[in-house]
Amino acid sequence: MHFGIVGAGAIGCLFGASLSLAGHDVTLIHRDLSIVRAIQKNGVSLRETDTTVTGIRVPVRKGPTTLPGAEVLIIAVKAYDTKAMAASYRGLVPLETTVLSLQNGLGNIETLQSALKNEVLAGSTTEGAFSLGPGSVLHTGRGLTVIGDPRGTKSDTCSRIKIAFEEAGFRTKISSNMAGVLWTKAIVNSAINPLSGLTRLPNGALAKSSEIRKIGFQVMREGMSVSHAERVTLAGDPRKLWRRILLSTKANKSSMLQDIERGKMTEIRQLNGAILSRGNARGVETPTNRILTRIVLGIEESSKP
């Protein structure tokens, strides 16, 4: 298959390099010219936790750009960039191209659907990826990737993407309840990312702390209450998935911790912030999510020049 991947960060490079190694036609797209040039010069370096390092030459272009012939355009940008990215690609993406969001947080699908006329598929992955620099990614843990049509209907493209992802080494499932999948992942991330970012602990250390577990479970209970008020059927129990993800990605630093360490904006608004705002709209109290949101936003503010 011919894939375009918007966002050459950790997840974009992990999937791009792995799909390319499996024989698929992949083009990475990134808005930062310095990152584009680094990948053009050095390729993508994919490191596994067993110290195996593979160098892959993957075509890369500065975005926004047209990508004629791309069957699937994977969106792997930060959730807070989705609106601007979607607006910049309006009219550039051929109608026959399927758009697949492989992002964290809530609201990405609705944003893409409002800006683009293409078929939009939802995706969620628990693959662990840590950026070591432009085009360099450490694959910190194997997980599960779930994709599906957000309307719950069958999609031939989904089946083909599943095959391609599995050829690239990613365990993949198709779900008819992607709203439940995305909410479950958001609830789990809301109990991992800010706690990791605030404590500076990698995932494995979070799982070992009974005190962190108590806070995490309260965060998830609040998120589950909001999801029930939104009439979302969750895809499994987030509390069980929380521990499973932490243990399968022990060495991984959450994306929010990576962002905080680099003084960058985080996805707190699309995780705990989204649960908070939707809880407010439904009359559901979410005090733990509120305080975590405010603390992380305070850290972001303090890191500004």
Beta bridge partners of 31: none
Q: Is the peptide bond before 202 cis (omega within 30 degrees of 0)?
A: no
Give the whole-angstrom CA distance, residue 258 versus residue 270.
17
DSSP state of 276: H
List the structure tokens of 293: 């949101």
Give the whole-angstrom CA distance, residue 237 versus residue 34.
42
Count Cβ atoms below 10 Å from residue 51 Cβ, excluding itself.
6
Count how many residues are written for the chain: 305
The CA-atom distances, in angstroms, between 25 and each of 69, 163, 258 are: 10, 14, 30
Catalytic option among 78, 154, 173, 185: 185
CB 266 within 8 A of CB 296: yes
Beta bridge partners of 25: 2
Give the whole-angstrom CA distance, residue 283 versus residue 68.
47
* DSSP-derived secondary structure for 67-124: -TT-SEEEE-S-GGGHHHHHHHHTTTS-TTSEEEEE-SSSSHHHHHHHH--S-EEEEE
Give the whole-angstrom CA distance, residue 184 versus residue 213.
17
| 185 catalytic per annotation | yes
Q: Which residues of 68-82 are buried (b: 16+ CB within 10 A; e: fewer)?
A: eebbbbbbbbbbebb
Give the whole-angstrom CA distance, residue 177 versus residue 148.
8
- Which amino acids are annotated catalytic? 185
